[in-house]
Structure 1
Amino acid sequence: MTHDRICRQPGVVLTDHHFTVPLDHARPDGEQVELYAREVVATGKDPETLPWLLYLEGGPGFGARRFIGRQAWLERALTEYRVLLLDQRGTGRSGPLNRQTLPLRGTPAEQAAHLAHFRADSIVRDCEAIRPGLTAGAPWTVLGQSFGGFCVTHYLSTAPEGLAAALITGGLPSLDATADEVYEAAYTRIERKNRAHYARYPMDVERARRIVAALVERPVELPGGYRLTPEAFQSLGLLLGTGDGSHQLHHLLEDAFVPTLDGPALSDAFLEAVHGHLSFAGHPLYALIHEAIYAQDPAAPTGWAAERVRAAHPLFDAARTLAGDEPLLFSGETIHLWHFTVDPALAPLRETAELLAARTGWEPLYDPVRLAANEVPVAALVYHDDMYVDTAHSLRTARAIRGLRTWVTDEFEHDGLRAGGPRVLDRLLALVRDEL
């Protein structure tokens, strides 16, 4: 472990940390990978007197959030912790994996084999590898957002001795659901979110139909070469899972067309904004291993589960919608093979993605027996109708983890940790301390 470059932002002192860990923790003497994390301490506090709080970002495939000063939940955390913002392996500054770097691994088959080491099991073993050098062996508190909560659940299953407390926001996974079962539940929730959006903004029904009709006639190439097809346009529904996402989607749709010499056309401003929402250039790992985070049966590949399940939900078929008078349904947190055709950030990795979808040999991620005997204080924020993580799955898991306390609310969508600021973390800490 090394640390360097202490710098300051308003109200905080930042320290960079660099670590070397095995790519495959089962082979500690084999290939090594580099990890990066940023330590955040409140100005004026002595870090050596503070316990550690490790933050695991959602995803998969996103580096830790780059806060400025004491934004969001950091305000509360910094009153009593030194915080470690870890870029999980393959993200941020921890050896980012993308169309530029993955070819260094060799063939698509070699790339897929490499990516098999980037699920929650490897991330948790990374955490345990770096913890002793930071905490002198003491357990730490871990906060997991969304996929970060999946990692925390694996942590509780495999290395609870490393945890002083576990805090989860929108990230209690099913312990045993297949990828197909996860997406079957998801499409029902996504449809509800669509209905709620159109109830709030009924004028968007015609706007969305008009846009998708234009794309059926002729897909549009966005800046950077992204091909905006009807299915790609529908994936803007990812916005509907956040607190302000419905409003963002509405503002996108209302400014879609401008008059031109050839008649109405999708505007450059609209296309630029859409590109920002749809491109995977900043987080390609999310697309590559998204279905693999649900793979737990060694004999069963995920096999593009989201696409397979979507075929059983014809209401999401854009052509069918245009042939009738139903509102267009946007899709949600689903990855499809066509993503690797329309997005230049993913297209070179299509064969790698297909090999991952066909892969078998995935190991179970959770240990129900050990979770049933859990002794780590755990609190989980569960959103009443979370579009990204099924509420029923989360509550079933909550009942399976001994001593876990839940906070179930419809005050927030999936981004409650960000939107709720210090109050969310304060309540979770109170729950694990039996102060509520």
Structure 2
Amino acid sequence: MTKHRIVVVGGGFGGVQTVHGLKGTGTEITLIDRRNHHLFQPLLYQVATTLLATSEIAWPIRRLYRDRPDVTTILDEVVDVDTTARLVKLNSGQEVPYDTLVLATGARHAYFGRDEWEKLAPGLKTLEDATTLRRRILLAFEHAEMAEKTADRDALLTFAIIGAGPTGVEMAGTIAELAQEVLAPEFRRIDTKRTKVMLIEAGPRVLAAFSEDLSTYAQSALEKLGVEVRVGQPVTAITEDGVTVGETFIPCRTVIWAAGVQASPAAQWIGAEADRAGRTIVGPDLAIQNDPNIFVIGDTAFVKQENGKPVPGIAPAAKQQGSYVARVIKARLAHKTAPAPFKYFHQGSLATIGKRAAVIDFGKIKLKGGLAWWIWGLAHIYFLIGTRSRLAVAWSWLWIYLSGQHSARLITQKETLKDEA
């Protein structure tokens, strides 16, 4: 008897959770990803800002499933799906047949029609993004140390983060601490404490998804770290020489994008309806309207909640969707009643501001300050994969907290800032 073939595209939180949930179903599972590792994306900014090493937040996908003979891992990129023949088409030219397809392909950066900004203002979605940003941040200080002109030195010591969601807030706070505390004793010609870190947000406040009081606290905590917060004005231009906010030009050599995302082209592959951000519109069971055997989850999917708002594109949501789809598939295979429609349970919003403060919004319960920072850290350690990773990250954070020193400050490539741009 031929086994039921399940193809899962994407080794992020949603895809991995789906595969975990299908254990013991007697099916033939193929997991496809264009990278060989599963990434704990909430801590990606810590790699970019020299707090953690890449190996502490990423794990080889094959290692995750070495004891699962039902799972085959393919390192390749999906370019299309033939929904009639039920084939997933890969960049290598190969085709993978499926009976059930789960698309968990995530999202990429969105520059609101200004794609030329991408090289000048990289975002943060992959390990490659993180190491690129880490290199640019560290090189900015190195080049400032050697700059002869005051104007050049000031521009090199100016960092602009565009977008004041959790990633932008966390990046801004950590770069400020890096300049104010970590690097200050190590340079001779420059005073790194004069570094200017700007957090730029087109909306009216930082951390718009949080309650207003926590947003106000976060902005105040950032400003205490020396971050200049600019809200209510969008970035209108980015060049190699700086950024323009509204009509004001600011000389700046390092720009980081944290303002928007665009879903992967999964909807185009399967001919499904999508929203303005490219997210595939799915039904209550997370399948597309014209094919119940194709599920779309995570950042790739538009899932409407009871209040009419979409499920947020965060890790807990993707994991819940992965678990749900696995239950739906198992019920179908066993010819049992399908689970009730998917319902997202919000577990809270968390964001950290440097190494001493954080904000947590659990709805009725709201926390801020040092206690919130400890809870934020424990929550992230808990969700890491494997004892080794938990111990490594916990030790790195403890070392940073006690010594004030970041442990991953290596520049691993020789490109200059101009070459990178």
Normalised by the length of structure 1, the TM-score is 0.29
More strand by share: 2
More helix by share: 1
Normalised by the length of structure 2, the TM-score is 0.30
